[in-house]
Amino acid sequence: MTESSEQQLVIKPHFQNSVQKAQKPIQNGKGQPNLEHQNTKNRARRRSRGGRKSDQGEVVMMPNSRPCTVARKPNAPEITAGALVASTNPNPNGASNSSKSVSFAPRPGFGQVGTKCMVKANHFFAELPDKDLNQYDVTITPEVASRTVNRGIMAELVRLYRESDLGKRLPAYDGRKSLYTAGELPFVWREFNIKLVDEEDGVSGPKRERDYKVVIKFVARANLQYLGQFLAGKRANAPQEAIQILDIVLRELSSKRYCPIGRSFFSPDIRSPQRLGDGLESWRGFYQSIRPTQMGLSLNIDMASAAFIEPLPILEFVAQLLGKDVLSRPLSDSDRVKIKKALRGVKVDVTHRGNVRRKYRISGLTSQPTRELVFPVDDNSTMKSVVEYFQEMYGFTIQHAHLPCLQVGNQKKANYLPMEACKIVGGQRYTKRLNEKQITALLKVTCQRPRDRENDILKTVQHNAYNNDPYAKEFGINVSEKMTSVEARILPPPWLKYHDTGKEKDCLPQVGQWNMMNKKMINGMTVSRWACINFSRSVQESVARGFCSELAQMCQVSGMEFNTEPVIPIYNARPEQVEKALKHVYHASMNKTKGKELELLLAILPDSNGSLYGDLKRICETDLGLISQCCLTKHVFKISKQYLANVSLKINVKMGGRNTVLLDAISCRIPLVSDIPTIIFGADVTHPENGEDSSPSIAAVVASQDWPEVTKYAGLVCAQAHRQELIQDLYKTWQDPVRGTVSGGMIRDLLVSFRKATGQKPLRIIFYRDGVSEGQFYQVLLYELDAIRKACASLELNYQPPVTFIIVQKRHHTQLFANNHRDRSSTDRSGNILPGTVVDSKICHPTEFDFYLCSHAGIQGTSRPAHYHVLWDENNFTADGIQSLTNNLCYTYARCTRSVSVVPPAYYAHLAAFRARFYMEPEMQENGTSGRSAKSATGVRPLPALKENVKRVMFYC
């Protein structure tokens, strides 16, 4: 090959050179980035980008006095969208370039605060190969949708031509369009003809062969010199294609051995499958990904479990699903729906044809039983029953003709298969929602003590034997079998302040936990008017009365003023009449108090309550404007002091109170928070479950309302396009016929709310954003930081407070283990690393500002640290500053007396988004088409508005 024909791999830009193009929705959810398909179709409407000040009536954002001294800093320079957008020109020398002029915040140094210790991470050093990597485009004709078939075709090609036409190269294949080699193939372009046996054909007699044409064409070369420079910190942007190639190489052998799903591999041979109930079983597997770190390339290995459909005869599967008596009784309509949902899309083998095996995918279920089904057998419309056909054609007698048939094939030409003639093909992952019983069983299987998990990871690495992997050898990759030892620090817990009237005015948590004994809430609220509805038939009125009395006393002991008597007697109601019951209690209470509204509604629910909880929350929060607290029957009967204390904490914050604050916040000693009015945001987007292809995604944003303490948060929620990750309603403008251009959106509303609550305008913004995968960092930062800027500018001319934008990730696979599991001084009771353990070296990004923080104590299983990535930092935090702030905030979570695993504003945003999904249930039918309210211009049905008194408090707690 001549030098002139060589191309270099360049990273495609994540976004185009305009804000409008950057608004394209990210459709791949929260999973790993898909490097093959970066561009997605824009399904969201274009937002008006004008930043003009609105003429609507609003709170002017002027500073006011507060207890802490305010040292005014000059406003940060305005960061325009253009400053964030990347140039799309590759380097003139052809080097791999990220194509982005914007850089994420660089690491400002390493943290020093805390007690130093050593921990082990499930990262395994991978030595960088010294070979150039080549990429080839693969075109298979006729086109094949299945990666498994594609791999079979390429495996046959390599078997036939490796020693000859492929120049003895052993290529790695991604199952789609790309083939990679270490060193060049002897050609730039070549066509191959491959015959592949159809394994799904009969096993007796000759199998059918399929002919495929495979064209392999050179595309580009990845020079690993650039990857080496990036890992050494000499280049700012990672050459993603080179990393992707190495990742595919190390996955090639496992893809042949195991069942690949996403970045994980599963097999019933790794560990015996465990039954989960209702025809499902859990398979053990492992996650694998290669990552650039400060120590070089690292192979991240973690254990994984997933639910698979048991390879059962269909009759046995249905019997597990509905109960054994289904074989002797006719099916109800609900039975049919349940079977259809469980089996739609499932692949089955037929068992009625002797040695001939064929596989089909189930498309539906007949509405009639098998004995009533007839179909035409010739062009003369001669009809024959399914029972007769199977008897005459195959000598197969259908025993359970009262059951419906499975439908296979498409709707135009559907075939009937009796249930008893089919068996589920093994190795099919179950992607629908698990029920509570199955979730409990799966958690029991996956929950491992740290030492056991560590041992399983090490065994997996040894079993995979990467250094004997022919593909790793071909590409010159050497993988260590030792876990990485890394220096960590244990940050001290913060002192917490309680009310001065309690015996204990302040508290220093021990190993991430404390209790409310001898303490009173720092701001206990008053509840004078409350009522209780009992939806549980098993709870007698006297029991309910006793429970409410105990709860009222606990609220009083904890520092609230709580009336011991309800406004009206406890009201008993049936779950199916939830709306009627709520409105009755609401109006009866209003009548009794002469127009004064209820402050709190207690609700006793059955332990298994279906849609009752969601219906109750929707009606209370969007219709009646009621703050509610639900309690399950099992807790009402077993009155635990700990439970009552936790419920009292939740009630207090729902009423607008605060349970505890950081002592340093009271004393104005938190760097880059206490000096000037600072607002802390949390934001998250939750997406519909797999299989729901029309339900909207829900975005939630919360913001602190009580500087300098930063403990109390207000929250807003909105619906947006299906699987859209960018939060669309952070800032928006619209045309009003009277007022002209009007500004709004969640950021703007929460900034105004902060000003009303504190008398101050925020002069600093800290934004914790949850649930964003690495492949989405640039899009999310570009779009959402721009929205924050516009929201600020719409409130006041030149109002641009400096912003720190931090991504919070829990869905990663880095685990940290104690260096010595027997050392009680470095582990908690569950054997996990201690709360406050932070790591920002060796396994972290080579140049960017990220860290792992385990802020909570383990209860059971292995504690997973949260990964924080500071993408943008105009406040110039030090490593110690942001790490200590984040860790300290984790002790302010309102719902319990424990430090939590994720910084509370991000946690609250997640809770609010989850809560809001209940609001849309009545609007969304099973097919996702019918509903009461009209859709917005984006095609998304808006959520019903929260009542004003609900928005102001932490209703989601």
Q: Which residue has the tokens 């193939």?
A: 185
Give how far the C-alpha of residue 407 lies from the chain's centroid of Cα atoms, to the nearest Å.
34
State how far the Cα of 830 lies from the Cα of 39, in Å rounded to an integer: 45
Cβ pair 741, 735 in contact under 8 A: yes
> Of 66, 115, 50, which is closest to residue 744 (Cα–Cα)?
50
Cβ pair 484, 123 in contact under 8 A: yes
State how far the Cα of 690 lies from the Cα of 883, in Å rounded to an integer: 35
State how far the Cα of 21 lies from the Cα of 44, in Å rounded to an integer: 11
Do residue 183 and residue 243 come from a single domain?
A: yes
Q: Which residue has the tokens 């003709």?
A: 401
What 3-state DSSP class applies to 770?
strand
Tokens of 165: 């036409």
| Per-residue pLDDT at 765 | 98
Tokens of 479: 């993988």
Do residue 420 and residue 467 come from a single domain?
A: no
| Per-residue pLDDT at 34 | 36
State how far the Cα of 914 lies from the Cα of 717, in Å rounded to an integer: 10
Task: State the total domains in the chain.
Answer: 3
Do residue 246 and residue 133 come from a single domain?
A: yes
Sheet with 600-605: list strands edge to edge: 571-572, 530-534, 600-605, 628-632
Do residue 530 and residue 641 come from a single domain?
A: yes
Tokens of 255: 């893809």
- Residues near 556 by beta carbon (within 8 Å), at least 6 away in sequence: 562
> Of 679, 675, 668, which is closest to residue 61 (Cα–Cα)?
679
Q: What angle do CA 853, 855, 856 make, to 5 degrees?
A: 140
Cβ pair 88, 268 in contact under 8 A: no
State how far the Cα of 303 lies from the Cα of 267, in Å rounded to an integer: 12
Domain for residue 200, yes or no? yes
Q: Are strands 404-408 and 359-369 parallel, antiparallel or unpaired?
A: antiparallel
* Surface-to-core class of residue 83, CB atoms within 10 Å of its CB (0-12 exposed, 13-18 middle, 19+ buried): exposed
Q: Which residue has the tokens 């505890």?
A: 660
Do residue 466 and residue 415 come from a single domain?
A: no
- Residues near 824 by beta carbon (within 8 Å), at least 6 away in sequence: none
Domain for residue 616, yes or no? yes
What 3-state DSSP class applies to 111?
coil
* Surface-to-core class of residue 372, CB atoms within 10 Å of its CB (0-12 exposed, 13-18 middle, 19+ buried): middle
CATH of the domain at 396: 2.170.260.10
Q: Which residue has the tokens 């459709």?
A: 27
**Which string of DSSP letters, residue by residue, matches 618-641?**
HHIIIII---EEEEEHHHHHS--H
State how far the Cα of 301 lies from the Cα of 290, in Å rounded to an integer: 9
Domain for residue 690, yes or no? no
Domain for residue 63, yes or no? no
| Per-residue pLDDT at 716 | 95
Contacts from 892-896 at CB under 8 Å and sequence distance 24+?
A: 892/660, 892/661, 892/662, 892/710, 892/711, 894/649, 894/650, 894/652, 894/653, 894/658, 894/659, 894/711, 894/954, 894/957, 895/646, 895/649, 895/650, 895/653, 895/957, 896/646, 896/649
HEC string of 163-192? Answer: CCCCCCCCCEECCCCEEEEECCCCCCEEEE
State how far the Cα of 565 lies from the Cα of 269, in Å rounded to an integer: 61
Give how far the C-alpha of residue 317 lies from the chain's centroid of Cα atoms, to the nearest Å.
30
- Residues near 101 by beta carbon (within 8 Å), at least 6 away in sequence: 85, 86, 87
Domain region containing 166:
127-257+448-484
Domain for residue 653, yes or no? yes
| Per-residue pLDDT at 129 | 79
**Which string of DSSP letters, residue by residue, matches 820-886?**
-TT-GGGB-TTSPBPTTEEE-SSSS-SSBEEEEEE-S--SSS----EEEEEEEESS---HHHHHHHH
> Of 594, 609, 702, 712, which is closest to residue 658 (Cα–Cα)?
712
Tokens of 122: 């499930």
- Residues near 335 by beta carbon (within 8 Å), at least 6 away in sequence: 322, 326
Tokens of 513: 């936990």
Do residue 242 and residue 367 come from a single domain?
A: no
Domain for residue 378, yes or no? yes
Do residue 634 and residue 554 come from a single domain?
A: yes
Cβ pair 15, 39 in contact under 8 A: no
Q: What angle do CA 660, 665, 667 make, to 5 degrees?
A: 115
Do residue 420 and residue 461 come from a single domain?
A: no
The conformation of residue 5, written as its DSSP 8-state character, comes to G
State how far the Cα of 415 lies from the Cα of 670, in Å rounded to an integer: 69
Do residue 381 and residue 469 come from a single domain?
A: no
| Per-residue pLDDT at 695 | 86
In this structure, how many other beta carbons lie within 10 angstroms of the beta carbon of residue 325?
A: 8
Domain for residue 177, yes or no? yes
Q: Which residue has the tokens 């003139």?
A: 92
H helices of 759-804, in order, are: 777-793
> Of 865, 728, 942, 869, which is closest to residue 43 (Cα–Cα)?
728
State how far the Cα of 197 lies from the Cα of 287, in Å rounded to an integer: 31
> Of 676, 892, 524, which is closest to residue 66 (Cα–Cα)?
676
Cβ pair 804, 748 in contact under 8 A: no
Tokens of 392: 């005459």
Do residue 247 and residue 140 come from a single domain?
A: yes
> Of 366, 281, 332, which is closest to residue 323 (Cα–Cα)?
332
User: Which residues face 487 on adjacent strands?
Assistant: 118
Mean pLDDT per block of 10 residues along the chain (957 residues) reads: 36 33 40 35 35 39 46 41 35 37 89 96 92 93 91 95 96 95 95 84 59 96 88 87 93 93 94 94 96 96 96 94 81 90 92 83 92 85 89 91 88 77 94 89 92 96 95 95 97 97 96 95 97 96 96 97 96 96 96 93 94 96 96 95 96 97 94 95 91 84 95 95 94 92 95 96 97 93 97 95 98 95 83 96 96 93 96 98 98 96 98 93 42 59 92 92
| Per-residue pLDDT at 804 | 98
State how far the Cα of 844 lies from the Cα of 811, in Å rounded to an integer: 16
Considering Cα of 949, then 951, then 955, then 957, what sign does the dihedral take? negative
Do residue 535 and residue 593 come from a single domain?
A: yes
Cβ pair 259, 268 in contact under 8 A: no
Do residue 335 and residue 251 come from a single domain?
A: no
Give yes or no for a cis peptide into 492 (omega within 30° of 0): no
| Per-residue pLDDT at 202 | 43
| Per-residue pLDDT at 115 | 95
Sequence letter at residue 758? T
Cβ pair 711, 957 in contact under 8 A: no
Domain for residue 554, yes or no? yes
Q: What is the pTM of this model?
A: 0.87
Question: Cα Rg for the chain, rounded, in angstroms?
Answer: 31
State how far the Cα of 185 lies from the Cα of 165, in Å rounded to an integer: 8
| Per-residue pLDDT at 329 | 82
Cβ pair 472, 466 in contact under 8 A: yes
Cβ pair 299, 250 in contact under 8 A: yes
Boundary-marking domain end, from 657, 687, 707: 657
> Of 318, 336, 334, 317, which is closest to residue 326 (Cα–Cα)?
318
Boundary-marking domain end, from 657, 692, 715: 657
Tokens of 93: 């020398």
Boundary-marking domain end, from 611, 635, 657: 657
Task: Pick left, alpha or beta for residue 202 (phi over 0 → left; psi -120 to 50 → alpha; otherwise beta).
Answer: beta
The conformation of residue 15, written as its DSSP 8-state character, comes to S
